[in-house]
Homo-oligomer: A and B are copies of this chain.
Amino acid sequence: MTAFEALDHLLGPRFATSLAARRQNAGNEAHFDEMLPDAVAYPETTEEVAQILRTCAGAGIAVTAIGSGTSLEGQHLAAHGGVSLDFSRMNKLLQVNAEDMNAVVQPGVTRMQLNAALRATGLFFPVDPGADASLGGMAATRASGTTAVRYGTMRENVLALEAVMADGSVIRTGSAARKSSAGYDLTHLLVGSEGTLGLITELTLKLQGQPETIAAATCHFDDVAAAVDCVILTIQSGLPMARIELVDEMMVRGFNRHMGTALPERPHLFLEFHGAPAAVREEVTRFREIAREAGAGGWKDADTTEARNALWNLRHGALGAISALDPGKEKRTFSTDVCVPISRLAEAVAQAKREAAARGLTCTIVGHVGDGNFHCGVRFDPRDTAQRDRVLAFSGALAEAALRLGGTVTGEHGIGLGKQGYMQAEHGAALAYMRRLKAAFDPQGILNPGKLLPPAP
């Protein structure tokens, strides 16, 4: 019996080799070409995942996990063919432990699904990358987003994991205890490993109490430098912002064209404050003082739940709105992110604008700037190889600038296919230890091959 026959026997209709099924997992929201897996498996239990891994390990077949397929560096694409292990049917919310403020979920549960289920409990899961990503995928790519400045990234919000390793063995890492010093931290080694060390089959997530009061608002600035200065002063003042998002004038234009808004086409900050009523009032007042000093204008409260939702829907519509700026049907959006120490943020953003302009590229900048993290979106025509090269050169210049400024080539999108070329520059001698890790955990190299680590020199 071949490996595929064995998987067919195991999963029946939940193992598919049709072109339609394979194509469904071959695309991406980023700029990568379609990459077809040879088959798609839809397990429903950890034991099935283990059997898939054992079968594929025996035959040396690559296995690439996919959650919602919203990763931005091609992490879910079957770059070396093989099996696309699709977690969409492992989407059960297993436990909500309100008194311990945690939830246990299968990897295919999405963040919105979890938050909908939590609504009545007074708790919520804070990490918000924009897309309605699966929580397994978010952990695997160490996702973060708009609220990380207050609540941390997936790194800070995953307490424990169950994972299936390359040989099909099932391990559990961490516990529901808030901290531990009991040995190597395998939980946070698996978080961000992009499915190259093990496949996450269950997560225990930290939850937060829903804030008593939420205040949201927007304001705008004459230029991006002033907006960034405002952010730097705010963070340095210790204000516990829940969200502080930069939206540059080009992105505002995209929103106005695509989402029907009529915002002044200037750099904006989108803001949110969480806490007890008196504390939130105090924070808004202090922020407004800082913003006024930095030259902010056009303060607008989003003081109803509807207005607040509209604001964040707008922000989360960025990827779609970028297309509206240059809507050619064949065109794609190149989206990249870097993260720098907050004191170098103004410099990094200014350089991004210069590097784009020098190459004749139209670039939007949005960012989780409270963390020093920002995104550049550039539309390009994949058939125009000269333009494509200019986009990649822009991305390279941006990554180099981030490293020069003491930062990282990616704050939250990850390495995947797109950023392997910068791993040596960012990690130097440490890269050899990442390779040792990969070889120790997946000696055959069947887990998501072609991702995260650059080819050995």
Chain B minimum-CB-distance residue to A156: B156
Find out whether the CB atom of A372 lies under 8 angstroms from the CB atom of B178: yes
Cβ-neighbour of A178 out of B183, B342, B414 (below 8 A): B342
Contact A372 B185 (CB under 8 A): no
Cross-chain contact B179 with A409 (CB below 8 angstroms): no
Selected from B143, B197, B343, B408, the residue in CB contact (under 8 A) with A99 is: B343
Set of chain B residues within 8 Å of A180, measured between Cβ atoms: 142, 339, 408, 410-411
A372-B177, A433-B186 as given contacts; A428 in contact with B278, CB under 8 Å: no
Chain B contacts for A372, CB-based, 8 A: 177-178
Cβ-defined contact, A100 with B343, below 8 A = yes
Of B97, B98, B282, B373, which one neighbours A179 at CB under 8 angstroms? B373
**Across the two chains, which residue of chain B brings its CB closest to A277?**
B282
A10 within 8 A of B: no
Contact partner, A100, options B341, B434, B437, Cβ 8 Å: B341
- Given A99-B232, A186-B434, A279-B278, answer yes or no on A412-B179 (Cβ-Cβ < 8 Å): yes
Interfacial residues of chain A within 84-106, with CB under 8 A of chain B in the complex: 97-102
Q: Is A176 in contact with chain B by the CB < 8 A criterion?
A: yes
Place the interface of chain A in its size category. 35 or more
Closest B residue by C-beta to A98? B236
B282 touching A178 by the CB < 8 A rule? no
Q: Which of A224-239 contact B (CB under 8 A)?
A: 232, 235-238
Q: How many copies does the complex hold?
A: 2
With both beta carbons as reference points, the residue of chain B lying nearest to A171 in the complex is identified as B430
Q: How far, in angstroms, from A208 to B238 measured CA to CA in the complex?
A: 8
Q: Which one of A13-21, A320-328, A419-427 is at the B interface?
A: A419-427
A146 at interface by CB-CB < 8 Å: no
Instruction: Check B339–A179 contact: CB distance below 8 A.
Output: yes
The CA of A421 and the CA of B169, in the complex, are separated in Å by: 22
A155 at the interface (CB under 8 A from B): yes
Please encode chain A, from 420 to 457, with 1 for each CB lying within 8 Å of some chain B CB and 0 for all others: 00110011111111101101110000000000110000
* Whole-angstrom distance between the Cβ of A455 and the nearest chain B Cβ: 15
CA of A276 to CA of B6, assembled, Å? 63
A144 to B186, CA, bound (A): 19
27 contacts between A and B (CB under 8 A): A97-B343, A99-B232, A99-B236, A99-B342, A100-B343, A148-B179, A155-B179, A169-B432, A171-B429, A172-B428, A175-B426, A176-B341, A177-B406, A177-B407, A178-B371, A179-B339, A179-B411, A181-B408, A181-B410, A181-B413, A182-B410, A182-B422, A183-B426, A183-B434, A184-B189, A185-B191, A436-B441
